[in-house]
Amino acid sequence: MLTINIITIFPGFFDGPLGLSIPARAAAAGGVTYRCIDLRDFTHDKHRSVDDYPFGGGPGMVMRPGPFFEAVESAGATSPIVLMSARGRKFTHADAVRFAAGTELTLLCGHYKDVDQRVADHLATEELSLGDFVLSGGEPAALAIVDATVRLLPGAMSDLESARTDSFYDRGISAPSYTRPAEFRGFSVPEVLIGGDHAKVDAWRDEQSLLRTRESERRERELTAAREREIAAREAMIAEREAAEAARLAKKARKKKRL
């Protein structure tokens, strides 16, 4: 059985979703147990504070390391311990497969501006992100990871073959799907899907999967190139600032030497 620990300041966020559909079915089948742990139970002040001002100044609040460490220790959690973080590597289907094959998974949900870096460096075994965007907290990301993971467990889905034909399941992007009616508002289903020739259907689906996978990879390459250009521009700006500061200090040293 897989035990999933979710450490959060909003344990109620998960009550509804984990009690519905596939996450609930996975638990009912005995494949998974959920433990939602309230981070505020591991604070030591009357206000149950989990955050504080950042060292060095700046906007926003930073979540303290202490409650995270104590919550994980109290749960007796073992690896993997995953911090939801915009800095993290992008979560993939391969991660879901890895988690589903394990016996325990702990998800740390941040909030506010950031989480003290010592949580990432000395408590979490990895950091994961859903993509290049920022959520109000780690809870929605954790829920997405839970759903992607538990749907792979025995008993979670009535039709496991459906999961095996999903996008990213030992393949790239899946082919598009159609259902009745065969024509809707003038838009028709591809003829190959209703012709009854299963070999042609399989070939069409393979072709469509390949086309969509190549398109997705092209978009990813474009995004990577754009990020690299942005990084290069930032590096050039930093180098320019450093050169200006070095020139200023050299000028100041020359002036002091003349005096």
- The first and second tokens of residue 257, run together, are 């030497």
pLDDT of res. 257: 82
For the chain, which ranges sit under pLDDT 70? 158-171
- The CA angle 106-111-117, to the nearest 5 degrees, is 70
- The first and second tokens of residue 75, run together, are 């749960």
- Strand partners for 107: 6, 82
pLDDT of res. 69: 98
pLDDT of res. 164: 57
CA distances (Å), 185 to each of 132, 182, 192, in order?
A: 37, 10, 20
132-150: burial string, b at 16+ Cβ within 10 Å, e else: eeebebbbebbbbbbbbbb
pLDDT of res. 165: 56
pLDDT of res. 166: 57
Q: Which amino acid is at 24?
A: A
CB proximity list for 174: less than 8 A, separation 6 or greater: 165, 166, 167, 205, 209, 212
